[in-house]
Amino acid sequence: MRITVIGAGTMGSGIAQLVATAGHDTSLVDVGEEQLRRGRASIEESLRRFVAKGAVAESDAEDILERVLTGTSVAASVADADIVIESVIEVLEVKRAVFVEAARYAPADALLATNTSQLSITAIGAAIPVAASRLVGLHFFNPPVLMRLIEVVAGLESSEEVIERALEFGASLGKETVLCRKDSPGFLTSRISALVRLECLRMLEEGVASAEDIDKALKVGFNWPMGPLELGDFNGLDTYLHILESLERTLGDRFKPTVTLRNLVSAGRLGRKTGHGIYTYPES
């Protein structure tokens, strides 16, 4: 299949790597060459680690990378796509604009999917009334190549056929799937994850414990593979702030971001990607 991934950031580059590894011809799109260079570099780095561990043969890694073409034009890269996966920043208007263009130039039977963490699929689809039945949420987890789950989210207008195609596509990538049948803010996963992580940020802000001990408590006591604060840094604190602001608007005060989180983002301390977030990453 031909798959176009729009947005070459933390998630888009990982999704492109995942679908190229599954053998699909992949187009990765972003607004500029610098973003595409970074997206490609992160795929290369990830493949290098798989090769070093013996999980992927060197020649396969080269083939995977060759299957990923990059470009800055949505119109050109969706022209022959079977599936379009949008993974741009978590801002409704930006996503809607991307889908207006994608729906205009993609084939009339292409599956349109958004990797939004919590925005309404129905609200995104309202920007493309003629194609809204072909739009679903396809919510990957970070990093997409390793995480086992894909959450499929049905918008009000999503057709049963498209929901079925999305579930089958997720399974074909070797993932488990869950279906969020009712399009509601935060779906099944982001809603619960945001609350736990926010409570950890509140404890940090109140001085209840150090970041290290809050993370250790969740990892050792509750078997989280990564502490919630580490996870915030890993996923990007700016993305997390967008998610909380949006959930606060739809679900109320219990999702209100902390002052510390706002300060970190204002200071450009976005987590691993900037070398500094709740923790510091000298290697970045």
Ligand X SMILES: NC(=O)c1ccc[n+]([C@@H]2O[C@H](COP(=O)([O-])OP(=O)(O)OC[C@H]3O[C@@H](n4cnc5c(N)ncnc54)[C@H](O)[C@@H]3O)[C@@H](O)[C@H]2O)c1
* Footprint of ligand X (CB under 6 A): 6-12, 29-31, 35, 87-90, 94, 98, 115-117, 140-142, 235-236, 239
Cβ closest to ligand X, residue 36 vs residue 131: 36
Q: How far is the CB of 162 from ligand X (least distance, A)?
A: 19
Residues 138 and 116: beta-carbon distance below 8 Å: no
Distance (Å, whole) CA 100 – CA 86: 12
Question: Closer CB to ligand X, residue 97 or residue 167?
Answer: 97
Q: Which residues of 94-128 are buried (b: 16+ CB within 10 A; e: fewer)?
A: ebbebbeebbebbeeebbbbbbbbbbbbbebbbbb
Q: How far is the CB of 119 from ligand X (least distance, A)?
A: 7
Distance linking the first and last C-alpha atoms of the chain: 35
DSSP 36: H
**In terms of CB distance, is 178 or 209 closer to ligand X?**
178
Contact 190, 176 (CB under 8 A): no
**Which CB sits closer to ligand X, 19 or 98?**
98
Q: Could you tell me the smallest distance in angstroms from the CB atom of residue 34 to ligand X?
A: 9
| Least distance CB 12 / ligand X (angstroms) | 5
In the bound state with ligand X, the residue whose beta carbon lies nearer, of 44 and 60, is: 44
Sign of CA dihedral 141, 144, 146, 150: positive
Minimum CB separation of residue 219 from ligand X in Å reads 18
Please give the residue whose beta carbon sits closest to ligand X in the complex. 9
